[in-house]
Structure 1
Amino acid sequence: MTKEEKLIKLRSVFSPMSPIKNQDLFFGRIHQLDNVCDAINEQGQHAILYGERGVGKTSLGNIMATQLTNVFPVKVTCSRDDDFKSLWHRAFQKIPLATTTTGIGFTSEEQTSYTSLASRILDIEDVLPANIESMLMPVLNNRILFVFDEFDNINKNRVREQFADLIKSLSDNCDNITIIIIGISDNVVNLLGNHQSLERCLKQIRMPRMTPDELGGIIDNGINVLELEIVKDVRKKILEFSSGFPHYTHLLCKYGCKAVIEDDKLSFNRSYLKKAIALAIENVQEQIKDAFRKATFSSSAESQWEQVLFACATSKTDEYNCFTIKEITNRFADISGKDKSKVNISYNLGKLCQTERGAILEKISIDGGVKFRFSNPLSKAFVILKMNHG
C-alpha cells in the first residue's frame, strides 16, 4: 500500500470527530447491540439507550439505522427546537407512501404515485400520539425501526410525555413498530420521566464507558488496515489515556499513525505517541480546552489548581464516575508530596464547580454525602493527557 493510500484509509479507520457509520469499523458494544436486536425482534418491545457523553451511543445508533437487515430503519437527530410534530414530520419524510389510482374506462391502466408519510401530518396543528399511531396503520405490513438520537436535547416535558404515551400505545397495538430512544443521561427517568407503565415494554440499555478490550479492538483493527505496527507499551498507554472514551483512542491513533506514515515508517513507537499527545491536546474540542484554562489559571507560582484537577482525574470513582473529597485528598497528597493531614482543598473543589473556574466539576449529593465528578466526562481524559504532556 502506498503512503497516499494509507493516508486515505486513515481517515476512515480513525475518525475522532464523527460517529462510526460502517459496521466493519465498529468494535465492542456487542452486549448492547444484542439487547437492541432483542427489543426489535420481540413484539411490542421498545428500547432506550442512555449513558455519558462520548461513549459511542450515536455510533451504535448509526449501526442500527444502516446495518440491520430485517427492518426499515428511520433515524432522526433531535434538536432543542424540536417538538412532537416536528420530530415525527422528519421521521415520516423518510417513509415512502404509494397511492394507486385507476383511470376512467375499461382498458385504463392503474397508475401509482409516491409521496411520503409526512404529507399526512402537515395539516394537523396539535399532533397527538393517537394521530401518529393512526398514520402508521397503512405501513404496518412492514417492520419499521425509528431511532431518535440526542433525545436529551428535548427539554419540553410535554414532548417526553407524548413519546412515553406513544410507546405504550404502540406496544399494545402495533407489533411491527419499534422506537429506540438514545440520549445522554445517568438514568431513564431524566430522559422520559417516571412512567411505571413503560417498564414492561421499554428495554433499558445503559452504555458504559468502553473496556480496554473494546478500545483495543479499535487500535488493532486500524493498525492492521494501515499495515503498521504498534509498540506494546504505546498501545497500553493509549488505552490508559482514553479513560474508556473511544473519542480519545481515535484521536491519539489518528495523529500518531499519520506521523508514522508521513515519515515512511512502520512502527508506532513512543516518539510518535508524544507527537500524538501534543496534537490531540491541540485538537480537542474548544469547550474542553477553555474549561481547563479557566480551571487552572493563576498568577501565583504557588497555585495548586492543576494538582487538584490532576488528583480528580486520577482518583478512584464509583459507578457514577464520582469521587469523594477523601479520595481526592489522598491523590493530591501523593501528587504534591504534602502530608495528608495538612491538605485542605475544599475551597478549590468548590470553586471548580463555579463558572469562573469553567464549572469543570459538578457537586453531586448521593446517599446524604457529597461527591464530585467532571461536568463533561471527556474532560477527565483531557486532564490526563495534559499531565503526560511535557
Structure 2
Amino acid sequence: MKQSLTTAGGATRFVLIIDEFDRPQGRASALFADTIKTLSDHDVPATIVLVGVADSVSELMREHASVERALVQVPMPRMSDSELAQIVEGGLTRVSMSITERALRHITDLSQGLPHYTHLLGLNAGLEANEHRRTEVIPHDVDVAIKRAVEKAQESIKQAHYDATVSPRRDNLFTHVLLACALTKPDARGSFSAAEIRDQIRRITKKDYDIPAFSQHLNDFCDQKRGPILHRMGSPRRYRFRFINPLMQPYVIMHGLSKEIISNSEIR
C-alpha cells in the first residue's frame, strides 16, 4: 500500500476511509495497525480515516499502542437536545407544521442524543397529527409515535431485547432490571453501577429491592445466554455496566412506555 499510494499520489493527497474499524479482530487488526504506522513513518501523502465504535483509539488499536501518536482522535458525542430539536422543527417546517414545546421535549428526552430515534419519532408524530388534520404536533401524537417506533425498530434490536428479557416465569425481573439500566443516568463514558440501578428498580416496581436481588440479572445480561446486551467493566464489587448497542437504551425506554410499565414523567 505504501508504494502504491506514493507512486499514484504525486501532488495529490489521498484520503482513505475505513468504516466499522471496531470489527476486525486478531491478525487483521494487527495488519491494519502495522500499515498505519508504516505510512506515518515514511510520510506517505495520504490520510486514513478510521471510523469505529469504542471508548478510545487505544481500544480500537489494541494490537499496536505506538500507532496512537500517528492519529488524531475525533470523538463523536451524542447530540444535544437543542440539536435534536432542530431536526424535528426543521422537518415539520418543511411541510408547514409545528410542534408544541412539551411534545418536542418528549421526543428529545426519548432520543437520548441519538438522531435515529429523533427522526423516527418526529416522522410518526407528524403523520399522526396529519391523520387528524392538525398542523401542530401535540404530546398525544408522540405517544402514538412511540408505539409505532417500537413496532418499526430494527429487527436486531427487537430480537436482542426479547432474548434478554424472555422468561417462563411471569414474576421475573428481567424486563424491569433492563428498563432500570436504561433509565439510569450514565457517567461521561456511558456506564452505570448496580447501586445506581437500584434506585430506578425501586421506582419502577414500587418494591424495596436491594442489589443481591438483581445482581445475577446484570451478570446474565453480560453473558451469551441473554445477549450479551450489556458490557461489564471494572473489578468485583466495583463493576460498571453499559449498553453494548447505544440504540438499545432508548428502545428499552420506549418499550417500557408502550407497555405502560412506566409513565412519561419517569424518563425526565
Question: TM-score range with shorter-chain normalisation?
Answer: 0.7 to 0.9
Unaligned runs of 5+ residues in structure 2 are: 261-268
Which deviations, in whole Å up to 9, do the C-alpha atoms of 1:178-200 show, x marking residues without a partner?
A: 11111122221232235454343
The 5-angstrom pairing of residues 51-70 of structure 1 reads none
Aligned counterpart in structure 2 of residue 145 of structure 1, from 15, 18, 27: 15
Q: Tell me which structure has the larger Cα radius of gyration.
A: 1
For structure 1, which segment, 212-221 or 194-203, has the greater mean C-alpha deviation from structure 2 after superposition?
A: 194-203
Does residue 161 of the first structure (1) align with residue 40 of the second (2)? no
RMSD: 2.4
Report which of the two has the higher share of strand.
Answer: 1
Which deviations, in whole Å up to 9, do the C-alpha atoms of 1:297-354 show, x marking residues without a partner?
A: 3344433222222211111312221211111112211222223559721232223333
Unaligned runs of 5+ residues in structure 1 are: 1-131
CA contact (8 A) 2:57 2:68 kept: no
Which is bigger in relative contact order (C-alpha 8 A, separation at least 6)?
1
Which deviations, in whole Å up to 9, do the C-alpha atoms of 1:197-255 show, x marking residues without a partner?
A: 43433101121222212222222221222221011111101111111211111111122
> Shift in Å at residue 165 of structure 1?
3.3
CA contact (8 A) 2:81 2:113 kept: yes
Identify if the C-alpha distance between structure 1 residues 196 and 212 changes in structure 2 by more than 3 Å, giving closer, same or farther: same
Amino acid at match of 1:204: Q
CA contact (8 A) 1:229 1:268 kept: yes
Q: State the distance in 1 between where 2:50 and 2:87 align.
A: 26
Does residue 385 of the first structure (1) align with residue 257 of the second (2)? no
Amino acid at match of 1:147: I
Identify if the C-alpha distance between structure 1 residues 310 and 133 changes in structure 2 by more than 3 Å, giving closer, same or farther: same
Identity %: 33
Identify if the C-alpha distance between structure 1 residues 143 and 261 changes in structure 2 by more than 3 Å, giving closer, same or farther: farther
The 5-angstrom pairing of residues 262-281 of structure 1 reads 262-281=131-150
Amino acid at match of 1:276: A
3-state secondary structure, aligned to 1:302: coil
CA contact (8 A) 2:193 2:239 kept: yes
Does residue 285 of the first structure (1) align with residue 165 of the second (2)? no
Q: State the distance in 1 between where 2:24 and 2:109 align.
A: 34
Matched residue count: 258
Task: Please name the residue that 1:338 is paired with.
Answer: 207
Amino acid at match of 2:185: K
Aligned counterpart in structure 1 of residue 70 of structure 2, from 197, 201, 212: 201
Which deviations, in whole Å up to 9, do the C-alpha atoms of 1:132-175 show, x marking residues without a partner?
A: 12112232212321111111222243x33333333334335446
Amino acid at match of 2:134: K
Identify if the C-alpha distance between structure 1 residues 268 and 172 changes in structure 2 by more than 3 Å, giving closer, same or farther: same
Report which of the two has the higher share of helix.
Answer: 2
Q: State the distance in 1 between where 2:76 and 2:66 align.
A: 23
Q: State the distance in 1 between where 2:31 and 2:251 align.
A: 38
Q: State the distance in 1 between where 2:212 and 2:60 align.
A: 40
Task: Please name the residue that 1:170 is paired with.
Answer: 39
TM-score using structure 1 length? 0.60
3-state secondary structure, aligned to 1:145: strand
